[in-house]
Amino acid sequence: MSFQIKLPLFEGPFDLLLFFIERDELDIYDIPISQITTEFLEYIHHLEEMNMEVASEFILVAATLMRIKAKMLLPRPVLDEEGNEVDPRDELVKHLLEYKKYKSVIGELSEMEAQRLLLEKRGNISSEIKSLAENVDVEAELQDVDLYKLLKVFQKVLERFEAEQNKPVHQVVEYPYTIAKQKAFILTTLKVRKRLSFEDIIREEPTKVAVIFNFLAILELLQLNQISINTGLGYNNFWIEHISKKTKALKKD
């Protein structure tokens, strides 16, 4: 017995974000970025499980959501020139409002297009093709073909073939990291080692993507009050320690 999973298809990533916001009746000016990011990534994972190609624009918006989430987790907010705190969601809200504005007129434009097609009929394509065929003298054209023209055509065909062969191919590589996995890795390591430096974590997976995921995992653990951070004098490294239940209770008291 087999079953099918049907997912709604969205025209673009902003269409998907607006669907989540309208479905959950969220305030577009105060988006819960953690909730939206989780739902957006789950939708992309569903597409990957169904062997559907994920467009680059969806991946770009997913990365943007994760960047905004990371900025909101940082203890020090970003300030503008006047010293006011800058909300990392402002740019996303601006794009969503613009997309929503243009989307609202798509229906009217489609209706206008349909009415226009009804008013002005297209020509008779079959008769036009027949008329063109009658005006073209194929035998006369073949009489003007010489070796030089054939070589020029052959050269252009070869150039197009080489251009197609050398066309750059873009591949999207899926990294074997998630914030949840890196959080579990850090907590498991702290059970064996009481103190862990960020440099030690980097040595385990010395890649740029691994460093980003580990840093985001540390920020979430810090926000959840599961670890503490100690910095050195030079601020070139920091050490993390696990916060026990006893320490949490003393902090609450």
The per-residue pLDDT for range 2-38, each reduced to its tens digit, is: 333 344 455 678 788 888 888 878 887 788 888 888 8
Write the CA distances from 135 to 21, 143, 145, integer angstroms: 60, 17, 19
pLDDT at residue 181 greater than cutoff 60: yes
Higher pLDDT, 176 or 244: 176
- Specify the pLDDT at position 4: 38
Evaluate whether 243 touches 225 at the Cβ level (below 8 Å): yes
Mind listing the domains of the chain with CATH numbers? 1-70+86-120 (no CATH), 179-252 (1.10.10.580)
At residue 61's C-alpha, the angle toward residues 91 and 92, to 5°, is 15
Residue with the bigger pLDDT between 226 and 150: it is: 226
Task: Give residue-wise pLDDT tens across range 52-77.
Answer: 566 677 777 888 888 888 877 777 67
Is the pLDDT at 241 greater than 50? The verdict is: yes
* Distance separating alpha carbons of residues 214 and 111, to the nearest angstrom: 51
Condensed to tens digits (0 to 9), the pLDDT of residues 95-146 reads: 888 878 877 777 788 788 877 777 655 566 667 767 766 666 656 555 666 7
The strand ranges marked E within the chain are 195-197, 227-231, 238-242
pTM of the predicted model as reported, rounded to 2 decimal places: 0.36
Select, from the ranges 127-141, 161-175, 214-228, the one with the highest average predicted confidence (pLDDT). 214-228
Q: What is the pLDDT of residue 251?
A: 53
Average confidence score pLDDT of the chain: 76
Mean pLDDT of the 165-180 span: 80
The DSSP letter of residue 105 is: T
